[in-house]
């Protein structure tokens, strides 16, 4: 009989592409994981893995079985959640993913409220980029994720939480007064500092720039500097190397530096919709709704 343990090991091997790293992720020894994969191959009567020195590749049928294994594991997780979370909302373990351009600014606001209102909640957090969060939600490694919408994933449902406007961060030496609204066409895109590829905030900034009909250098792309965090980008702005678009939720933290000036954009102001993403099959919708209300309450309190 195929076991959930074997499917979990195969899924880990597919994600990591290495027996040692997969074994470490599953908290077992490498020989034990390898033995379980071989037993799975023998039971199914197919070769799942091409074993090469220093690397592992799944065969074509191995990739398909791994994909199906992820679905089975997610369904098994949903079954357990259904049994365990039929009472009060937000009790027990909840694994939540969150994007890097949101985590440092939203979590300090909502964590105290969650601890106060739901003391029996065991929250486990994972901060990473949108693509990985979506994969882990679909695969059952995460219960839900907070990220920018829309996603366009047929297997995932979403709950809108709040709109997060974009502001323009410039060096304090910029001649424009703080109270002035900046027209999109007046943004010098040649000096725009963006996060590195893979961050949704970079994609959103580029999408906004693509809507600007004209500017100092039409069609120019911004600098990146390979920055992986918004804090690093803001240090570049503070040093006078350029300007950037910053989410409003991050402004209170990142604009404390006196070397930075925050300007609002003219209407219609660009922004992003922050929401909660979860599997359509998840039985924990009541938990997600309760979590959403906490987030909305904290955002409303901060704006009041």
Tens of pLDDT along the chain (304 residues) come to 899 999 999 999 998 888 988 999 899 999 999 999 999 999 999 999 988 777 788 999 999 999 899 889 888 888 877 777 666 789 889 999 999 999 999 999 999 999 999 999 999 999 999 999 999 998 888 999 999 999 989 999 999 999 999 999 999 999 998 878 998 888 888 888 888 776 788 888 777 777 766 544 444 445 545 577 888 899 999 999 999 999 999 998 887 888 999 999 999 888 999 999 999 989 899 999 999 999 999 999 877 6
| pTM to 2 decimal places | 0.75
- For residues 78 and 86, what is the distance between their CA atoms, to the nearest angstrom? 12
CB contact set of 155 (below 8 Å; sequence gap of 6+): 138, 279, 280
Which structural domains are found in the chain, ordered by start?
Answer: 4-84 (1.10.10.10), 89-152+274-301 (3.40.190.10), 163-271 (3.40.190.10)
> Does residue 90 come out as left (phi exceeding 0), alpha (psi in the -120 to 50 range) or beta?
left
What pairs with residue 184 in β-bridges? none
Strand partners, 182: 265
If one counts every other C-beta atom within 10 angstroms of the C-beta of residue 15, the result is 18
* Whole-angstrom distance, CA of residue 54 vs CA of residue 76: 32
Quick one: pLDDT at residue 17?
86
Contact 182, 226 (CB under 8 A): no
């Amino acid at each position: 009989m195929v076991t959930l343990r074997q499917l979990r090991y195969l899924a880990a091997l597919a994600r990591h592409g290495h027996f040692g790293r997969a074994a470490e992720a599953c908290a077992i020894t490498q020989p034990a994981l390898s033995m379980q994969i071989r037993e799975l191959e023998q039971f199914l009567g197919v070769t799942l893995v091409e074993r090469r020195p220093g690397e592992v590749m799944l065969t074509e049928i191995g990739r398909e079985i791994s994909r199906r294994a992820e679905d089975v594991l997610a369904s098994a997780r949903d079954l357990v959640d259904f049994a365990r979370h039929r009472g009060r909302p937000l009790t027990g373990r909840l694994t939540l993913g969150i994007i890097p351009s949101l985590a440092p600014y939203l979590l300090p606001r909502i964590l105290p409220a969650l601890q106060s209102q739901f003391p029996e909640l065991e929250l486990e957090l994972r901060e990473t980029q949108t693509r990985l969060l979506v994969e882990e939600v679909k695969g059952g490694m995460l219960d839900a994720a907070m990220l920018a919408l829309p996603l366009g994933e047929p297997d995932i449902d979403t709950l809108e939480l709040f709109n997060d406007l974009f502001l323009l961060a410039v060096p304090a030496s910029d001649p424009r007064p703080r109270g002035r609204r900046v027209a999109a066409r007046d943004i010098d895109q040649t000096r725009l500092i963006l996060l590195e590829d893979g961050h949704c905030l970079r994609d959103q900034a580029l999408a906004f720039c693509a809507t600007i009909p004209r500017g100092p250098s039409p069609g120019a792309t911004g600098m990146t500097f390979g920055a992986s965090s918004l804090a690093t980008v803001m240090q570049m702005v503070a040093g006078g190397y350029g300007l950037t678009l910053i989410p409003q939720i991050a402004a209170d933290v990142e604009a404390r530096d006196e070397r930075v000036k925050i300007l609002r954009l003219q209407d219609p102001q660009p922004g992003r919709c922050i929401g909660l993403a979860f599997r359509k099959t998840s039985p924990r919708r009541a938990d997600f709704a309760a979590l959403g209300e906490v987030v909305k309450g904290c955002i409303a309190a901060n704006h009041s």
